[in-house]
């Protein structure tokens, strides 16, 4: 089994991204209650987009924080597609 390690700074950045993302998504979702129709759908879509990209970013930063004693890399096309 390979012994891995974490970069504490990147772990902290990952947590900060998760907290800011949650706050942003909740603020955008709360705007839904004051509106209706198309405006409500736009606010809800913006909140979902913020949450989705934030979760993706938090996980990606968390993956970058983890190092193994072997060479690893990411394919740009697969990463963008995800």
**Extents of the domains making up the chain:** 5-81
**CB 17 within 8 Å of CB 60:** no
pTM (two decimals): 0.79
Overall size of the chain counted in residues: 82
pLDDT digits (tens, 9 = 90+) for 23-77: 998 898 888 888 888 998 998 899 899 999 999 999 999 999 998 888 888 888 9
Rounded to whole angstroms, what are the CA distances from 36 to 6, 48, 53, 76? 45, 17, 25, 39
Is the pLDDT at 7 greater than 90? The verdict is yes
Alpha helices by DSSP H, the chain: 8-30, 38-65, 76-81
């Amino acid at each position: 089994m390979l012994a891995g390690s974490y970069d504490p700074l990147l772990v902290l950045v990952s947590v900060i991204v998760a907290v800011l993302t949650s706050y942003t998504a909740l603020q955008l979702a709360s705007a839904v209650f004051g509106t209706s129709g198309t405006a409500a759908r736009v606010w809800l879509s913006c909140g979902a987009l913020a949450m989705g990209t934030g979760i993706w970013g938090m996980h990606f930063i968390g993956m970058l924080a983890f190092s193994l004693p072997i060479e690893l890399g990411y394919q740009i096309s697969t990463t963008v597609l995800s």
